[in-house]
Chains A and B, each alone.
Chain A
C-alpha cells in the first residue's frame, strides 16, 4: 500500500514537469511576443515606439533568450522562490495575481464536485434499482438533456431570466461591497450566497454524466451472485443494496474524480467568463489574448497541476477503499 502511494507520488514529478513544459510551449506558440503585441496596441492609438525601446523591453523581460533557456529560468524561479515571473500587462509579479483566483477556482470546482456527487449518487442508484420505471425515464431524460446543453448557454439563460424577470445581476462571486474587502466571516457568507449559481450550472452537465455512470455501475453489480447471497441471508432490500452493490459500484465512482475534475475545471472556465467570476478563467483569457505569457503560463500550469493532483487523490482513495488494490 505504502509502496503504491510512493510509486504514485513519484510518478507525479515527471507529470508535473511535463505539464509545466506543455504550459510553456503553449504560451510560446503565438507568433511574436508581448512586445510585438504591445507595439501593435500602441500603434493602434497612433503611438510609435522605436527599435531601441523595443529591444530594451525584450532585454528586460528576457524575451531574447532561446526558448529552453527561458523555460529553465522560469522553472527555476518557480521552484526556488515561488516566482512565476512578471505580468507584462499588470506590471507586477504574477504570483501576486494568481493565488486568490486559483483558490476561488478550486473552491468552485470542489463545490461543484461535491454537489455533483450528492445529486448523482442517489439518482444513479435509484435509476438502476428501478430500471425502466417512470422515475428512471425522467432521470434519464434529464441526464441526456443535461449532457446536451453547453454550460455557457445555461449560464446565459439564467442570467437572462434573472435580468429580465427579476432585474438582478447574478454575475460575480461577491456583492460589490465585499469585492475588495479582506477576508472575513461576512465575506465568506457572501461568497456562499453567490456560489450556488455557478455551482448549479456546472453541476448540471457533470451530474448528468455521473448519473449515467452510476446507473451503469449499479446495473453491472446488481445481477452478481454476491447480491443473491446477501438476499438469501435474509437481509432487507435496502440494507442489502447499500451494503453490497452500492459499496462496490462506488469504487469506479471514486475514479471519476480523475476525469470529472478536469471536466469541471474546463466547464468552469467558460461559465466563469460568462458570469464574470473572479476566478482564474477570465484573467487567463485576457492574458492569452494579450500574450501576457508568464501570467497565462502560470494559470495553465496551475490548472493542469490541479487536475493531476485530482487524479492522484482519486488513485489513492481507490486503493484505500478497495482491498483488492490495497492488498495485491
Chain B
C-alpha cells in the first residue's frame, strides 16, 4: 500500500514527508516533465523582462532591411585572420538584375563582435526603471543583428518573438486565472451543496462544454471596437477566452469535491468539531489543490493556442500590440512566406511553449496524487 514513490528514498525521510514533498519526488522521476519545467521557467523569465533578451527594438522599422534573412552567429573568425569570440557578418543587399529580387550575401570582410550584457535600445523593467543592458547586443547599431530575420517592415523577428512572449504567455496565465476563479466558485458550490443546485450547474457545464469555442470567440471578439487601447483589448480577450474555459475546470473541481465529501477523514473531521470553513480549507482544499494545479497547467497551453488562433484570424489582439498570434498574421500571406519563410519562426515559439506546458501538466497530473497508486 505504501506508495512506490516513497520506496526510493530513505524510509525515515519518507515518513515525515508532506504531500508536496511526495509529489516533488514523484515528479522528479519524470525526466521529460523536469526538462519541461526548466523550459517553462526560462520562457516565463523571458516574458517577465523581454527587453533584456531582445536584441533590437521590436517596434523599430527599417526600410533597408525588408525581409532581411536570418543571420548566422559565428564563434571562429577566419576571414580576418584567426580569432575567437561571438560575432556576425552584416549582409549585403544586391538585386537580381533580371527579376529585381533582393539577394542578401554575407560580407565577411566586416566582422561585428557581439557583446554579452552590452548596451542597446532603452527598455523599462516592470515599469520601475529604464535600462539599456541586454543579454546580447550588437556592437554596431547601424548594422543590426537579425537572428530570426526581419519582416515586411524590416522589424527584427527575434526581438518581436521575445516581446510577444510577454503577451502570449501571460494571456494564458491571466485567462486561466479568471477561468479558475469562475470554475472553483461555481464547481465548488455545485459539488459542495449537491442536489438541485448541482443538477442545474451540471446542465450548464455540459451545455457550455458542448459549444464549439472558436465560432463563439469569433462572434464575441468581433464585438470589440477596433479602436480600443491595447490593455482594454487584452483584458477583453482574456475574459472572452475564460467565458468558455471555466467549464472544464468547474467540472474537475466538482468531481473532486463530490468524491472528497464521502471520504471518511472528512466525516471524521466533522465529528472532531471542525468548522465547515476549516473542513474546506484544511482538509478538502489541500487534497485537491495538486489536481487543480495540474489541470490549470494543462489549461494554459489551450489558452495560448486560442489567443494565437484568434489574433491570427485578425479578431484577437491588434497590431501594434505584439503577440505570437499577431506575428503569425504576417505569415498568413502565402507570397510573403514564400519569400520569407522565417516568418514561421514565431510558430516554433508557440509550439515549444505549448509543448513544454503540456508535458509539465502531464507530469504534474501523474504526480498529483502520491497516496493512491
Direct contact of A and B (CB under 8 A): yes
Which A residues are within 8 Å of any B CB, using their own CB? 11, 15, 18-19, 22-23, 26-27, 29-31, 144-145, 147-150, 152-153, 156-157, 159-160, 163-164, 258-259, 261-263, 265-267, 269-270, 273-274, 281, 284-285, 288-289, 291, 296, 299-300, 303-304, 306-308, 310-311
Q: Chain B residues near A156: list those with CB within 8 A.
A: 331-332, 337, 344, 347
Interface assignment of B133: CB less than 8 Å from any CB of chain A: no
The smallest beta-carbon distance between B250 and chain A, in angstroms, is: 15
Give complex CA distance A270, B312 in Å: 9
Task: Given A156-B347, A288-B219, A306-B212, output 11 extra A-B contacts at Cβ < 8 Å.
Answer: A144-B355, A148-B301, A148-B358, A150-B347, A153-B351, A160-B344, A259-B210, A266-B215, A269-B214, A274-B332, A300-B215
Give complex CA distance A310, B206 in Å: 12
Q: Chain B residues near A144: list those with CB within 8 A.
A: 355, 358-359, 362
**B313 to A304, Cβ gap below 8 A?**
no
Q: What are 12 sample pairs from A and B whose C-beta atoms fall under 8 A apart?
A: A26-B219, A26-B223, A30-B223, A148-B301, A150-B354, A153-B344, A157-B344, A160-B338, A259-B209, A270-B214, A285-B218, A304-B216
Q: Determine which of A11, A148, A150, A269 lies in contact with B215 in the assembled complex, contact meaning CB atoms within 8 Å.
A: A269
**B211 to A262, Cβ gap below 8 A?**
yes
Q: Chain A residues near B215: list those with CB within 8 A.
A: 265-266, 269, 281, 284, 299-300, 303-304
Residue interface bits B221-247, CB-to-A below 8 A is 1, else 0: 011010000000000000000000000
**A262 to B213, Cβ gap below 8 A?**
yes
Q: Chain A residues near B218: list those with CB within 8 A.
A: 269, 284-285, 288
Give complex CA distance A265, B217 in Å: 13
**A296 to B219, Cβ gap below 8 A?**
yes
Residue of B nearest to A18 (CB): B207
Which B residues are within 8 Å of any A CB, using their own CB? 203, 206-207, 209-216, 218-220, 222-223, 225, 301, 305, 308-309, 312-313, 315, 328, 331-332, 334, 337-338, 341, 344, 347, 350-352, 354-355, 358-359, 362
Give complex CA distance A18, B332 in Å: 35
Residue of A nearest to B351 (CB): A148
The 4 closest A-B pairs by CB, nearest first: A29-B223, A266-B214, A148-B355, A288-B222
**A288 to B315, Cβ gap below 8 A?**
yes
**B219 to A267, Cβ gap below 8 A?**
no
Give complex CA distance A31, B220 in Å: 12
**A273 to B313, Cβ gap below 8 A?**
yes
- Give the secondary structure class of B's interface: helix
Q: Determine which of A19, A145, A269, A284 lies in contact with B355 in the assembled complex, contact meaning CB atoms within 8 Å.
A: A145
**B350 to A160, Cβ gap below 8 A?**
no
Give complex CA distance A259, B209 in Å: 7
Q: Chain A residues near B312: list those with CB within 8 A.
A: 150, 152, 270
**B309 to A310, Cβ gap below 8 A?**
no
**B212 to A160, Cβ gap below 8 A?**
no
Q: Chain A residues near B338: list those with CB within 8 A.
A: 160, 163-164
Q: Determine which of B210, B222, B351 lies in contact with A308 in the assembled complex, contact meaning CB atoms within 8 Å.
A: B210
Give complex CA distance A258, B315 in Å: 27
The smallest beta-carbon distance between A191 and chain B, in angstroms, is: 22
Q: Chain B residues near A308: list those with CB within 8 A.
A: 210
Q: Chain B residues near A15: list those with CB within 8 A.
A: 207
Once A30-B223, A148-B301 are accepted as A-B contacts, the answer to whether A265 and B351 lie under 8 Å apart by CB is no
Give complex CA distance A31, B215 in Å: 19
**B207 to A307, Cβ gap below 8 A?**
no
Residue of A nearest to B206 (CB): A311
The smallest beta-carbon distance between B239 and chain A, in angstroms, is: 13
Residue of B nearest to A164 (CB): B338
**B309 to A29, Cβ gap below 8 A?**
no
Q: Determine which of A18, A265, A270 lies in contact with B313 in the assembled complex, contact meaning CB atoms within 8 Å.
A: A270
The smallest beta-carbon distance between B183 and chain A, in angstroms, is: 16
Residue of B nearest to A23 (CB): B219
Give complex CA distance A195, B104 in Å: 39
**B308 to A150, Cβ gap below 8 A?**
yes
Once A265-B212, A270-B313 are accepted as A-B contacts, the answer to whether A163 and B334 lie under 8 Å apart by CB is yes
Give complex CA distance A149, B347 in Å: 8
Give complex CA distance A147, B304 in Å: 12
The smallest beta-carbon distance between A71 and chain B, in angstroms, is: 15
Give complex CA distance A296, B307 in Å: 21
**A30 to B222, Cβ gap below 8 A?**
yes
**B305 to A31, Cβ gap below 8 A?**
no
**B313 to A285, Cβ gap below 8 A?**
yes
Give complex CA distance A169, B274 in Å: 69
Q: Chain B residues near A267: list those with CB within 8 A.
A: 214
Residue of B nearest to A262 (CB): B212
Give complex CA distance A21, B260 in Å: 37
**B358 to A300, Cβ gap below 8 A?**
no
Once A269-B218, A270-B313, A288-B219 are accepted as A-B contacts, the answer to whether A160 and B359 lie under 8 Å apart by CB is no
Q: Chain A residues near B344: list those with CB within 8 A.
A: 153, 156-157, 160
Residue of B nearest to A310 (CB): B210
Give complex CA distance A265, B315 in Å: 18
Give complex CA distance A263, B215 in Å: 11
Q: Chain A residues near B213: list those with CB within 8 A.
A: 262, 266
Q: Chain B residues near A273: list those with CB within 8 A.
A: 313
Q: Chain B residues near A296: list those with CB within 8 A.
A: 219, 222
Counting chain B CB atoms within 10 Å of each CB, the highest count among A145, A150, A270, A273 belongs to: A150
**B351 to A307, Cβ gap below 8 A?**
no
The smallest beta-carbon distance between A32 and chain B, in angstroms, is: 9
**B355 to A29, Cβ gap below 8 A?**
no
Q: Chain B residues near A306: list those with CB within 8 A.
A: 212
**A262 to B210, Cβ gap below 8 A?**
yes
The smallest beta-carbon distance between A295 and chain B, in angstroms, is: 12
